[in-house]
Structure 1
Amino acid sequence: MTRMVHCVRLKKEAEGLMVPPLPGPKGQWVFENVSQEAWTEWQVHQTRLINEKHLNLMQPEARQYLTEQMDKYFKGEAVDAADGYVPETK
C-alpha cells in the first residue's frame, strides 16, 4: 500500500517516500513531510548545484550549503540557481 503524506513543497497529499532519505532527525522530517515527487525534484536541483558550482561533497562546507539549500527548497523560499542553467521549454 502506498504511504501518503501532506507534502510541504507541493502543498497537497501525495505519495510519500518508502524510507527516510537521510539519517537522523532531518531524514525523519523529510520522510514525514516530503513526497516522493518533491524529493525527486530536489535531487535534480541538488545535482545541478553540485555540478554547476563544482561542489566537493568531501568538504563539510559543501554539505552544509546543500543542507541549507534543501531546507529553503522545502520551505518554499528562494534557492540558489545553477549559474548558466536555462530551464527546458516544453
Structure 2
Amino acid sequence: MSNIVFCKKLNKELEGLDFAPMPNAKGDEILANYSKQAWKQWQDHQTRLINEKELSLMNPEHRKYLLEQMDKFLTNEDFDQAEGFKE
C-alpha cells in the first residue's frame, strides 16, 4: 500500500516518498509533507541549477545554496532559475 501525504508543494493528496531523502530532521519533514511528484520536480530543477551554475556538491557553500533553494522551491517561494533553461 502506498503512502499518501498532503503535499505542501502541490496542495493535494498524492503518493509520498518511500523513504526520507536525507538522514536528518529535514529529510523526515520532506518525507511527511511532500509527494514523490514534488520531489521529482525538485530533483529535476536541482540538476538544472547544478549544471547551469557549475555547482560542486563538494563545496559547502554550493550545498548550502542548494538547500536554501530546495526550501524555497518546496514552499512555493521565489527560487532561482537556470538562466539557459526554457520549459
With the shorter chain as reference, the TM-score category is over 0.9
RMSD across aligned positions (CA): 0.5
TM-score (structure 1 length as normaliser): 0.95
* Ranges in structure 2 where 5+ consecutive residues have no aligned partner: none
What is the match of residue 62 of structure 2? 62
Does residue 15 of structure 2 align to residue 15 of structure 1?
Answer: yes
Distance in 1 between residues matched to 2:59 and 2:47, nearest whole Å:
16
The share of aligned pairs that are identical, in percent, is 52
TM-score (structure 2 length as normaliser): 0.98
Runs of 4+ in 1 over 6 A off after TM superposition: none
Give a deviation string over 1:62-82, Cα, whole Å, max 9, x none.
Answer: 000000000001110011000
What is the match of residue 84 of structure 2? 84
Distance in 1 between residues matched to 2:68 and 2:31, nearest whole Å:
17
State how many pairs are aligned. Answer: 87
